[in-house]
Structure 1
Amino acid sequence: MTALQLLPLVPSGSTPTRTTTDRLEVLTALLASPTVDPLFREDVIVVPRDHSVYGWACGVPACERPLAPHRDYCHTHDLQWLAQRKQGMPVTEFQRTAEPLKPKAWFTPPPCLICPDVPTWTLDGLCYMHSHRWDHYRGYYRRLHGREVDFDTWPRDQTPFPDFGQCLVEPCPELADNPLRLCRRHSTRYQKAGRPGGAASPSNWSRWLDRGESIPVEYADKAGFDRWCRETGLANRMKGKVSLLGLRPLVKAEIQWAMFHHGSGPEEASQWPLAWLQYVADDCRIQRVNSLVDLDPNTCRAHAATIASLMLKYLRLVYFTREDTKDAGFIETDHFGVRFP
């Protein structure tokens, strides 16, 4: 018997009082309460940088990079602090003198300067395809006139690309920027994976759009491509977000409720790094579980199994009534407002 299975949802020897449907209805009602922060009701939970339990801001003032999991600083500043601490530097001096850093990539890409429905890829505000067009035009102009072209005027003459919708990779919340309907990172991953299913669009597809023509997408094996989209995980650890996309309804509600319950608990509640919470969601999606109680901890990452077991403890108060616990032969003291440390 696995660690998570030691906590059954239905007490043995009793008639189930809350079925899967009942549990989902109860959790849905709890999440709809006005005391629940609306961010925990979303399929993609976006957490403020300075959240008391789920905060992800680097401890160096004005640094815009995210925390390394279970650290006080981003990865770069954490390495710097370890080196400075060995030399006897006080932490207050390190925080005062450390240089704030800019993020290496967008946390949430804004719209392209030209395409309002396509995400920015480059720091100058262009989507992936328009950045290629700009580089080509700038090089051509330099060779022809021997000087640089003015970037401020170039976007006004460009045609925006249409909305390609959300990335087809099941847990990915990012917008696609190409006819295959993959975000830029998953487009790169798809190529590295050897293009499962052989999905392809014309190499010059942007010219098809310029001519007002629809872009054909061909597949050597459509089922293979769909399977890759279904089984592929996130292309990177999202900063400040936990994606619950692709989860079954009950387990999604369980994670949402447990995150709210943990985040609204006592001030001494342990911090749950968002990267570890994403591991929980990923493992639930990979194992296709209906509930956290079905999750096999032996195939989970260590942090995911630990957090999932704590989530199940929170859910016991929801799933077991006082009568359920009595029939099962134990007392859940939280039902009576008593908690033993």
Structure 2
Amino acid sequence: MIPLTLLPGRTDATRLSRDRLDLLTALIDTPAFDPLYRDTLIRIPPQHPVYGWRCSIDGCGRSRQMGHVICESHHRLWTQAQASGMARADFLRTAKPLPAARGTDHGPCRICPERPATTAALRLCSQHHARWQHHARTVRAEAEEEALQQWLRTQVPLAGYGICQAVCPLLAASSLGLCRQHESRL
């Protein structure tokens, strides 16, 4: 549970302020208060009855499309099925689940384990990817893989930025402390 305290620097810690804080604490402590909101960091489960964000097709790993209960891919399929005369209940029952979209999460950089990779093929962070692109201009195309392996042995890991600060398990991509997806949304 979140320990509630008065704001620092407030000199008017009057009885009224303290009473309001005590009242709020008492309300949060009641059994009727949803435990989901008691922690300092609120994590909404994917299938929450009110704030759910996962596609409602059973087993689908994708996020809902805004304003809908299904993901964008299933919404496109539903639009086609609806045009052909299929009932919504039949579509929801027969739709195949889709794997979670990985977006830009390609795992950690193969050189810097604390930084996210920018591409799935090379698995390099943005700095090492730029360095490799610069170095690769001097390499013959037929010897590129061998040159990459030699180049990798000369590289030094760079410090990372920790885990994304936006309640996300992905590695932060920059000093902003956000993963690539949350950076792009920002």
TM-score, structure 1 as length reference: 0.36
- Give the match for residue 85 of structure 1: 82
- Are positions 1:132 and 2:135 aligned together? no
- Give the match for residue 103 of structure 1: 101
- Are positions 1:162 and 2:159 aligned together? yes
Q: Specify which of 57, 67, 80 is matched with residue 54 of structure 2.
A: 57
- Are positions 1:71 and 2:37 aligned together? no
Structure 1 residues 144 and 88: alpha-carbon distance in aligned structure 2, compared to 1, 3 A threshold: closer
- Are positions 1:118 and 2:115 aligned together? yes
Structure 1 residues 98 and 147: alpha-carbon distance in aligned structure 2, compared to 1, 3 A threshold: same
Q: How does 1:174-185 map to 2 (within 5 A)?
A: 176-178=172-174, 181-182=175-176, 183=178
Structure 1 residues 48 and 86: alpha-carbon distance in aligned structure 2, compared to 1, 3 A threshold: same
- Partner deviation per Cα, 1:151-210 (whole Å, 9 max, x = no partner): 88976653222134688xxx95676544xx234659x87xxxxxxxxxxxxxxxxxxxxx
- Which amino acid is 2:130 matched to? H
Shift of 1:92: 5.2
- Check conservation: 1:85, 1:91, Cα contact below 8 A: yes
Structure 1 residues 156 and 58: alpha-carbon distance in aligned structure 2, compared to 1, 3 A threshold: farther
- Partner deviation per Cα, 1:29-85 (whole Å, 9 max, x = no partner): 654678853665234x33222223322111334433200233121123213213311
- Give the match for residue 35 of structure 2: 37
- Which amino acid is 1:130 matched to? H
Q: For the aligned residues, what is the CA RMSD?
A: 4.5
- Check conservation: 1:58, 1:72, Cα contact below 8 A: yes
Q: Distance in 2 between matches of 1:73 and 1:81?
A: 9
- Which amino acid is 1:129 matched to? Q
Shift of 1:105: 1.7
- Which amino acid is 1:131 matched to? H
Q: Please, which moves more after superposition, 47-56 or 144-153?
A: 144-153
Structure 1 residues 156 and 91: alpha-carbon distance in aligned structure 2, compared to 1, 3 A threshold: farther
- Check conservation: 1:128, 1:184, Cα contact below 8 A: no
Q: Which has the higher helix share?
A: 1
Structure 1 residues 100 and 185: alpha-carbon distance in aligned structure 2, compared to 1, 3 A threshold: closer
Structure 1 residues 92 and 26: alpha-carbon distance in aligned structure 2, compared to 1, 3 A threshold: same
Structure 2 regions of 5+ residues with no counterpart? 1-14
Shift of 1:20: 4.5
Structure 1 residues 122 and 36: alpha-carbon distance in aligned structure 2, compared to 1, 3 A threshold: farther
- Check conservation: 1:31, 1:41, Cα contact below 8 A: no
Aligned residues: 166
- Which amino acid is 1:37 matched to? P
Q: Distance in 2 between matches of 1:40 and 1:82?
A: 40
Structure 1 regions of 5+ residues with no counterpart? 1-17, 190-233, 236-341
Give % identity: 30
- Partner deviation per Cα, 1:114-159 (whole Å, 9 max, x = no partner): 3343344444554322333444555654x26445359889766532
- Give the match for residue 278 of structure 1: none
Paired residue secondary structure (1:46): coil
- Which amino acid is 1:55 matched to? G
- Check conservation: 2:112, 2:157, Cα contact below 8 A: yes
- Give the match for residue 11 of structure 2: none
Q: Distance in 2 between matches of 1:110 and 1:24?
A: 44
